[in-house]
């Protein structure tokens, strides 16, 4: 199971460079701050992400999520590739990527668990203005975790 997870970043990079000849969105940046809920572990948290378009309709989005468990600390790092299906005021996309969740139990401070997983999901960017919008997203995580994650956030269209 872990062996094929190593090929996901390579596949995403291949797609980014392969489709890099197109340029309508090329060079566009977005910033996202969001609320995230993990249905499997029942964790809630805040997500901070960026998005960059190296090619038309294709972007990558690194993210950092801080979860608030009842005891201890929990954070998630992720990198997702997105392919946009529509343009204009409502932009819908499919996403695939990789993530890592680190959880530290506060009771003894020595119990640390790290789980790695792949993401697949759908989402959208709904514009309210030229610089502001909303970002709903639903992802399924599979691998060492098998959870459904919902995220709703505010998008800042930087350029």
The residue whose two tokens read 């960059």 is: 52
pLDDT score at 117: 94
Q: Which helix (H) or strand (E) holds 10?
A: helix 7-18
Q: Is 130 inside a domain boundary?
A: no
pLDDT score at 47: 95
Q: Is 65 inside a domain boundary?
A: yes
Give the Cβ contact number of residue 37 at 10 Å: 15
Number of domains forming the structure of the chain = 1
Q: Is 10 inside a domain boundary?
A: yes
Q: Is 71 inside a domain boundary?
A: yes
Q: Which whole-number Å values give the CA distances from 49 to 10, 136, 144, in the listed order?
A: 21, 13, 23
Q: Is 96 inside a domain boundary?
A: yes
The residue whose two tokens read 């790290």 is: 114
Give me the average pLDDT of each 10-residue run along the chain (159 residues). Answer: 54 46 64 94 92 92 91 90 91 95 76 90 93 95 88 92
- Domain, as residue range, for 49: 2-26+37-119+135-157
């Amino acid at each position: 199971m872990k062996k094929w997870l190593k090929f996901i970043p390579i596949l995403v990079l291949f797609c980014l460079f392969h489709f890099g000849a197109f340029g309508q969105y090329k060079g566009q940046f977005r910033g996202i701050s969001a609320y995230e809920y993990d249905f499997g572990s029942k964790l809630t948290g805040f997500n901070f992400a960026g998005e960059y378009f190296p090619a038309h309709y294709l972007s990558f989005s690194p993210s950092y999520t801080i979860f608030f468990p009842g005891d201890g600390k929990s954070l998630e790092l992720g990198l997702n590739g997105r392919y946009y299906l529509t343009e204009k005021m409502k932009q819908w996309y499919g996403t695939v990527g990789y993530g890592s969740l680190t959880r530290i139990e506060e009771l003894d401070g020595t119990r640390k668990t790290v789980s790695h997983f792949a993401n697949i999901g759908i989402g959208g960017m709904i514009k309210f203005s030229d610089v502001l919008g909303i970002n709903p997203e639903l992802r399924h995580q599979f691998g060492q975790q098998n959870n459904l994650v919902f995220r709703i956030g505010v998008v800042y269209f930087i350029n």
